[in-house]
Structure 1
Amino acid sequence: MSMAGVYRLPAMLTGTRMVLPGPRLDAGSLFDLLASEQVTLSAGVPSLWHGLIDKLDSAPELRERLSPSLRLVVAGSACPESMMVALDRHRIRATHAWGMTELSPVGAFSTLKPHLTQAGGADTGHSLRYRLKQGLPLPFVDVRIMTGQGAARWDGESVGELHVRGPWVAAGYYDTVSPDSWSGDGWLRTGDAAHIDTEGYIQITDRLKDLIKSGGEWICSVALENALLSHPAVQEAAVVAMPDPKWQERPFAFVKLRADRSATADELIGRLATHFTSWWLPDAVEFIDEIPKASTGKIQKTALRALAARLERVRHFRPDLVSWLDGKTQTLPDGCVGRRME
């Protein structure tokens, strides 16, 4: 019902034609549907648009078959900078939205304030920086950042858990007791680590459960993923925590390469080293053919954490198996298939 409230009911009330893609979400099927129906607005998780970008990169003239006013709303996970820039290159405007089912489901939308919009619609690095954030809270939605010391300042730096409240924000779960999901004063605890800048824009830095605690310090998996995605050979990337006896947790990266490109683990680690301090760098990079996803298109990090732990156990206790596994095809969780390539 939450998605019906965002798309279907408003579309019906305004007489907008709705186009439903059905089960075929591959790049070719999506492109054909967008072109044949002249879709002007579509929404989806970032992983949905990789194939469309690849298709347009290989044949830029195909853009003329799409509606000139095509816009995308990207939600579910953060849109990487490389993806937003690529879509801009093909004259497809991408806008961030953020929400949860408990918010019915939208809580923020990244509309640029007038003084942040460059004349003529061209983006500078300054305005792009705001477009990459999750956006401004919707009217009547209150937000705050909570730390162990209380509410944090809106300075664009102070990170804590994002709390929300509003007239359509859930106050509880039906037939389920979940006291940890709401604060004592009635705010929904989102489970997102975030900060808010002086303009009021929300920036989600990670899910609290996806942050990696190494040696008492926090490592942001999303920042590492976005840096990996900036490499031209990388199509998808996911970084998860791997248990470590000394440091508690260490980053473990899973990477899916583009079909016509190649890269080595050392090459990718070297690229990360230009952006991050050494203790942020992943201890391992695993190249896999498919990154497991839920039906919504979101990456299943629970499955990847289990796989990372399993691979590390093999490497630690049976080093003879590591060399045997090199180049071999393995069956991974949730039907994911991969190869060790180090």
Structure 2
Amino acid sequence: MDVPLNIKTIMSHVMTVAADTKVVTRGADGSITRLTYNDVFARAAKLANTLDSLQLSEDSRVGTLAWNDHRHLELHYAIPCTGRICHTINPKLFPEQIRFIINDAQNEAVFIDPQFIPMIEAMLDQLPSVKHWIALCGADELPQSTLPNLQAYESLLSCEQDSYEWPLLNENRASNLCYTSGTTGDPKGVLGSHRSIVLQCMSQNMASHLGLTSEDVVMPLVPMFHVNAWCMPYSAPMAGAALVLPGPHVADAKAMTDLVNHENVTFSLAVPTLWNGINEHLKATGTRLPSLARGVIGGAAGALQLYHDMDHHGVKLENGWGMTELSPIGSYNRHLSAHDQLSDDALDKQRLKSGRPLFGVEMRLVDADGNSLPHDGETDGVLEVRGPWACSSYYGQPQKHDWFNTGDVATIDPAGYMRITDRVKDVIKSGGEWISSIEIENAIMSHPGVREAVVIGVAHQHWSERPLLVVVPDESHPTLTPEQLLAHLNGKVPKWWVPNACEFVEALPHTATGKVSKKLLRENFNHYQWV
């Protein structure tokens, strides 16, 4: 039968198999809100009626500036299932980027957490398209504001019915809009469709990938404004899994571990920075996480020591790789029983791979001339992808992609496992040869005295570029020296890859999505003088 794959089908399925499954939110003040999917979708129906009452156009882009909570979850369903486009805006971007994104998307309405209202007030006169501002709070929490006709979310919902005649939408209709973080220019919009979202989630939930089930309790620490929390607002309900939404304080490791234990969370997703914080808290306090069996680490490469530490805590970390242009997951490294037969060294190398492509994703490696390269696990090439949820063009731009150039340099082995070796823009070219900054970073992070580390290329009079190691040392090793760290690399990477110098810093700059900003580091060390 020709039944469209639209997001409404996820709601219908959940109401059949998991209507009473819990959806828990931790608020900014630490309070807990307990709902079920039945409650969430009844409120989403009220929200759908609200969107109609506001007379938003049928294909309007509706912006959200919000954390991971039940209201944001309701927006993820009501907006696209009425035919409109859910546009999640990253509040951690620079104000000028947020202004650009709202104007580029031509948002008619923006649903905003009260925390972000002052930031938007400062640019209000530069946001002409926005006609409606809705604060994600109750009437008693509505702040005084210069935003015109600012309304409380709960007040609007209280005026509407909890039933809605959801339209039968074409599966190729646009549903979600996310923007890249704009590290190399203005952010670029990636427009997803109902079909692409449903297919991504179906593939995620295959057993050899994320493989969520109705026995899981899922807590995404990755925010919904970062490619829809890696699709968890859709993938988890599709599997019948419970959702625990942690609110704004995801960097509070104690609060997050308490939430995991209180709600018996079995599966979580986060960038390395957050996993590092949880790891340090567990080591310092002796806290255990008996329910948390697996976690996804993504957004940036993790240090091997972090995987070992989390093993000790009883949590198996698994790599996921993707990007905004893949909506977002392209490959996954699920731990298999066969991996337990590997030697310790081989297992460590296996765990650091970015995994095999999800069903539906094709990958290839190409050289500088576009020629295909072998999948032998050794040959580096630029990684290109295509698939039913891959970006064919950026929002509002005419250029089309048959294969999408990810900007990553990678290898693919005969079993299909992909390993990122660097970003094209971060590869260090020294004496005509490539040096992988990621390989050096992985090696140095095995030293217990390293909290964070990054390798950048710095201009060199003789070699064109040489690697510089920049380290945030761990407080537990106060006598650590740069020379000791450089010596630690001997035998772990090719001798000519060992950086010429190591510099200690108090902190590394991070982007709005939690990745280390090598661009800023290169600017900071632009005039570095080699000794």
What CA distance in whole angstroms lies between the structure 1 residues aligned with 2:247 and 2:262?
12
Q: Deviations over 1:161-208 (max 9, x none)?
A: 1111111111111123557xx4xxx10111110011111111111111
Aligned residues: 303
Secondary structure of the residue aligned to 1:29 is: helix
Q: CA deviation at 1:288?
A: 1.1
Give the TM-score normalised by the residue count of structure 1. Answer: 0.82
- Which one of 212, 215, 223 corresponds to residue 439 of structure 2? 223
Q: Is 1:194 equivalent to 2:410 in the alignment?
A: yes
Distance 2:256 2:470 in 1: 26
The aligned residue for residue 93 of structure 1 is: 316
C-alpha spacing 1:49/1:59, structure 2 compared with 1 (3 Å): same
Deviates more, 1:141-150 or 1:102-111: 141-150
CA RMSD of aligned residues (A): 2.3
Letter of the 2:351 partner, please give it. R
The 8 Å contact of residues 230 and 329 in structure 2, kept in 1 or not, is answered as no
Shift of 1:24: 4.4
**Counterpart position of 2:498:** 281
What residue ranges of structure 2 are gaps of 5+ in the alignment?
A: 1-175, 177-226
Contact 1:219 1:280 in 2 (8 A): yes
2:390 corresponding residue in structure 1: 169
The CA distance in 1 between the partners of 2:294 and 2:432, in whole Å, is 42
CA 1:125/1:5 → structure 2, altered by over 3 Å: closer, same or farther? closer
* Aligned mates of 2:436, 2:262 — CA distance in 1: 41
* Matching residue of 1:300: 517
Identify if the C-alpha distance between structure 1 residues 107 and 251 changes in structure 2 by more than 3 Å, giving closer, same or farther. same
Q: What secondary structure, in the 3-state scheme, does the structure 2 residue paired with 1:193 have?
A: strand
**AA at the equivalent of 2:254:** G
1:6 alignment counterpart = 231
Q: Deviations over 1:215-270 (max 9, x none)?
A: 11111111111111111111100111111222111111111111222310111111
Is the CA contact 1:192–1:206 (under 8 Å) kept in the aligned structure 2? yes
How far is the alpha carbon of 1:21 from its aligned partner? Answer: 3.8
The answer to whether the Cα contact below 8 Å between 2:439 and 2:493 also exists between their aligned partners in 1 is: no
Report the Cα distance in structure 2 between the residues aligned to 1:21 and 1:266, rounded to whole angstroms: 42
- Contact 1:136–1:201 (CA under 8 A) maintained in structure 2: yes
Distance 2:345 2:247 in 1: 34
Alignment-mate amino acid for residue 209 of structure 1: K
| 1:7-39 C-alpha deviation (Å, 9 max, x unpaired) | 012233425223224144133333233233332
Aligned to 2:140: none
Deviation of residue 301 (structure 1)?
A: 0.7
Determine the C-alpha separation between the residues in 2 that align with 1:23 and 1:59.
19
Contact 1:46 1:75 in 2 (8 A): yes
Q: Does 1:37 align with 2:275?
A: no
Deviation for aligned residue 1:160: 0.2
Q: 2: CA distance between counterparts of 1:31 and 1:125?
A: 30
Distance 2:266 2:234 in 1: 17
Identity of aligned residues (%): 36
Aligned 8 A contact 1:19 1:37 in 2: no
Q: Match for 2:314: what amino acid? A: R
Instruction: Give 1:87 shift.
Output: 1.0
Does the 8 Å contact 2:250/2:274 carry over to 1? no
Change beyond 3 A, Cα 1:201–1:15: closer
Determine the structure 2 residue equivalent to 1:80: 303
TM-score of the superposed pair, with normalisation by structure 2: 0.54
Which has the larger Rg?
A: 2
Residue deviations 1:264-310 (CA, integer Å, cap 9, x gap): 01111111123234431222212111111123211111111111114
Q: Which runs of 5+ in 1 are unaligned?
A: 320-342
8 Å CA contact 2:290, 2:314 repeated in 1: no
Q: How is 1:206-217 mapped onto 2 (pairs within 5 angstroms)?
A: 206-217=422-433
